[in-house]
Structure 1
Amino acid sequence: MNFKLEQINGCQVLSILDERIDAHNSADLKAELLQLIEQHGGAIVVQLEQVRFIDSSGLGALLSGHKQAVAKSGKLVLVKIQQPVLAMFEITRLNRVFEIYADLDEASAAQT
């Protein structure tokens, strides 16, 4: 799985550069999130702008990261979700679990 990690306004921003998060690469995402949480804690922003498809294993990887972040007194939030992916969050009601923002500015402002 391809990632880009940046620090923006004090937040670790993990951009997922693949178009799919599924059973083939969700373990990579989970491992990356857990490593980030262990190293940085605090606020982790996952940017999903490139992602066009997510399945249950991808949702599970994000949920696992969310739970670990909360356990470490941090947060994992999502930004720039495309409509087909957002629909999966709505169908599974995970949009009630995650904080979802339209862009990085909005997400960064909410973290401070």
Structure 2
Amino acid sequence: MKYSIDKKEQYVIFTPLEEKLDSLLAPKLKSELLTVHAEGYGKLVLDMSYVKYVDSSGLSALLVGDREYGNNGGLFLISGVQDHVMKLLQISMLDKKLNIVSDLEEAGETIFMHEIENGSGEEEEETED
């Protein structure tokens, strides 16, 4: 599987450089997502701008990422979803479950807002104790 990883200060952008995310590539994607998470990154943006086709194995990989990064206040965003893939996400109703943003700029803004919300939430908890 060809991909690029751009490690920012607060998050990682993972970009599969493949047109298909199917049963041949999905296990590798799952593995890479888990590896990045194990390295200590709690927020990941999956840039799907090259992906034109996803099958059930690919959808499963997206759910694994969502579950893994969603634990302990992390965040898993999917950006750049092509029309055909978006239709599949809507049919499977995963567009309601997954955090989908239009592009990397919106992803950065969402992560920034997530940081603010979690930061203020932690401060409120500390003052209550």
Structure-1-length-normalised TM-score: 0.94
Partner of 2:124: none
Q: CA deviation at 1:11?
A: 1.9
Q: CA deviation at 1:105?
A: 0.8
**Alpha carbons 1:44, 1:75 under 8 Å: kept:** yes
* 1:29-68 mapped onto 2 (5 Å cutoff): 29-68=29-68
Q: CA deviation at 1:24?
A: 0.8
**Higher strand fraction (1 or 2):** 1
Residue 80 (1) aligns with residue 80 (2): yes
Question: Structure 1: which 5+ runs fail to align?
Answer: none
Question: Structure 2: which 5+ runs fail to align?
Answer: 113-129
Q: Secondary structure at the match of 2:58?
A: helix
Quick one: distance in 2 between partners of 1:9 and 1:79? 19
Tell which has more relative contact order, 1 or 2 (C-alpha 8 A, sep 6+).
Answer: 1
Whichever residue aligns with residue 58 of structure 2, its letter is G
Q: CA deviation at 1:9?
A: 6.2
C-alpha spacing 1:26/1:17, structure 2 compared with 1 (3 Å): same
C-alpha spacing 1:95/1:101, structure 2 compared with 1 (3 Å): same
Aligned length: 112
Structure-2-length-normalised TM-score: 0.82
Whichever residue aligns with residue 89 of structure 2, its letter is F
Pairwise CA RMSD: 1.2
Partner of 2:99: 99
The structure whose Rg is larger is 2
**Deviating more after overlay: 43-52 vs 65-74:** 65-74
**Higher helix fraction (1 or 2):** 2
Identity of paired residues, percent? Answer: 28
